[in-house]
Structure 1
C-alpha cells in the first residue's frame, strides 16, 4: 500500500511540473507567428500561436473588382493554411512535455 502512495505522489508531482511547463509554452505561443499563403504568395495571412489573425497582405495584382469571389477564396485558403500551421506549432511545443509519459486518458 505504501509503495502505491509514493508512486501516486510521484505521478502528481510529475503532472504538476508538466502542467507548469505547458502553461509556460502556452504563454510563449502568443508571440510566435506562422504564415499561410495562397495564389503563389499573392495573399498572405499571419496568425499567432494562439490562432489570432495578426496580419493580412494582399498584392494589388490579385484585386479584381470583377472577381471578388477569387480573392475571398484566396483569403480563406491562406487563413486555413496559417491556422493549420498554428495547430502544428502548438502540438509540437506542448507535445514535447508529454512524450514518454504514461498518463491514463492522455495520448
Structure 2
C-alpha cells in the first residue's frame, strides 16, 4: 500500500516535470488593434516579445499605442492562463494548487 502511494507520487512528479517543460515551450500571442500590437508570452506568463506595426501609428497617437500594448498583454496573459490550466488539468490536479510552482 505504501509502495503504491510512493509510486503514484513519483508518477505525478514525473508528469509535473513534463508539464513544466511543455509550458516552457508553449507560446501564446495576444493581439490588440487588429494586430497592430502583438505580445508573445509563454504559458507561465512571461513576456517574450512585443511587436508593433510601425505603419499603424503616427507619433501623435502614442497614447492609443500605449493602451493597445496593455490590451495585447492582457490578451496574452489570458491565453497563457488558459494554456496552463489546460496542461495541469490533463493530469487531474486543480490548477490553483500548482500555479505557484510554475511561476
TM value normalised by structure 1: 0.76
Q: How many correspondences in the alignment?
A: 94
CA contact (8 A) 1:34 1:48 kept: yes
List gaps (5 residues or longer) in structure 1: 1-5, 100-105
Is 1:80 the counterpart of 2:67 in the alignment? Answer: no
Aligned ranges 1:51-90 → 2 under 5 Å: 51-90=45-84
Q: CA deviation at 1:10?
A: 3.1
Deviation larger for 45-54 or 74-83: 45-54
Q: CA deviation at 1:60?
A: 1.7
Report the counterpart of residue 100 of structure 2 in structure 1: none
Higher helix share: 2
Q: CA deviation at 1:40?
A: 0.8
Runs of 4 or more off by more than 4 Å in structure 1?
none
List gaps (5 residues or longer) in structure 2: 98-103
2-structure distance, mates of 1:53, 1:9: 42
Deviation larger for 12-21 or 28-37: 12-21
Report the counterpart of residue 92 of structure 2 in structure 1: 98
What CA deviation, in whole Å up to 9, does each residue of 1:43-93 have, x standing for no partner? 111111222211211112332222211101100101111111111101101
TM value normalised by structure 2: 0.79
CA contact (8 A) 1:62 1:71 kept: no
Pick from 36, 40, 43 the counterpart of residue 42 of structure 1: 36
